[in-house]
Copies of this chain bind each other. A is one copy, B any other.
């Protein structure tokens, strides 16, 4: 089965945002065994959009269009599709009702412009959007299937996962041709990961590919072996995970902060953090998860040495003898924040994020990460590759991974 994708939004053509939809939908459709033959990105321009959609529908039976479903005047997608298919725009009462509820709930009037979202092409199936106000739409017309997805990445993912994926899966069910698994790694550079895996002599199928983002390397295993694809990908992923041991912190769409959150909630445990070089990023990630107040108590960002001593009780002699970036300081920070907040776990992170601050024997990228858990304190020393962003993200991932590993009874490396 083949498909085309049309991405709408002048911001894409201007390079104002990265087109992350292309990658997300590309992977999802590939995993479903649907071959995407063309991507087109077009601006918020009625005539251009109409011409592109017309060309696309002449070539393909399955068309996915992203963006342009919002409330503003430059949101043209559903109207343009309707015009092209000769469908009238009609009011969808369910959507109107939901919008009214959302705004009333916050004590705000319904903005005039948002009412536009209530109109949909006649006969379209409305795909509810639990992450935003603009629903997705599915239209079947003349043997063609047209799926319209909202532009904001989170909303697009939610609508796709909840309403489109299973539908396309059935549509393409003739047989999933391939299976991919992504292992997420932190604390090693892309080339270090590749060197370690090269020694394994992994054969040509499954293939292994790499994507590096700040603080992470994603190792993708793709097996193309019909009904054996999944088993084959899983076997190879297991071997890779064993080789990379505690540098691996997750798989596929699993998010480290959500995993840690679930584990803490399950066991009724609490956590706090004392951060230096990560400057709040560990706590930010922990509190990104809804309901985090049930396990996260708080913490301290001690950028200055005075705060390390005054608030966390790191002894001045420890800092004087070993330095603020040392295993001893990291351990004292983790223990200190446990004492201050009374939490079950305490994280302590101190290091040199760069670009400045290195001293002899302590290069940029050096970070000590400590986890205090009851009367035990674990500490890891890492030299993270990359620039400031990569070092901070790597240290944050490693800190949360230590909690995950502890709670799962895994080896701390």
Give residues in A with beta carbon < 8 Å to B: 7, 9-20, 22-30, 35-45, 48, 52, 55, 70-74, 105-108, 111-114, 131-132, 152, 154, 180, 182, 189-192, 194-195, 198, 209-214, 218, 220, 273, 275, 278-284, 286-288, 290-293, 296-304, 307, 310-311, 340-341, 353-357, 363-365, 383, 385-389, 392
Contact A152 B213 (CB under 8 A): yes
Could you say which residues of chain B place their CB within 8 Å of the CB of A112?
A: 191, 195, 198
Which 8 pairs, one residue from A and one from B, show the smallest C-beta to C-beta distance? A15-B26, A279-B287, A280-B283, A280-B280, A15-B27, A39-B41, A111-B191, A280-B284
Contact A70 B17 (CB under 8 A): no
Q: Tell me which of A10, A74, A311 has the highest count of chain B C-beta atoms within 10 A of its own C-beta.
A: A10
Give complex CA distance A15, B3 in Å. 14
A154-B389, A288-B389 known; 11 other A-B pairs, CB under 8 Å?
A: A10-B220, A11-B220, A14-B180, A15-B23, A16-B220, A37-B42, A105-B363, A112-B198, A152-B214, A290-B354, A299-B300
Could you say which residues of chain B place their CB within 8 Å of the CB of A341?
A: 304, 307
Instruction: Across the interface, name the chain B residue whose C-beta is closest to A343.
Output: B304
Partner of A311, one of B38, B45, B74, B340: B340
Contact A191 B113 (CB under 8 A): yes
Could you say which residues of chain B place their CB within 8 Å of the CB of A365?
A: 106
Instruction: Across the interface, name the chain B residue whose C-beta is closest to A67.
Output: B211
Partner of A38, one of B37, B40, B132: B40
Contact A22 B23 (CB under 8 A): no
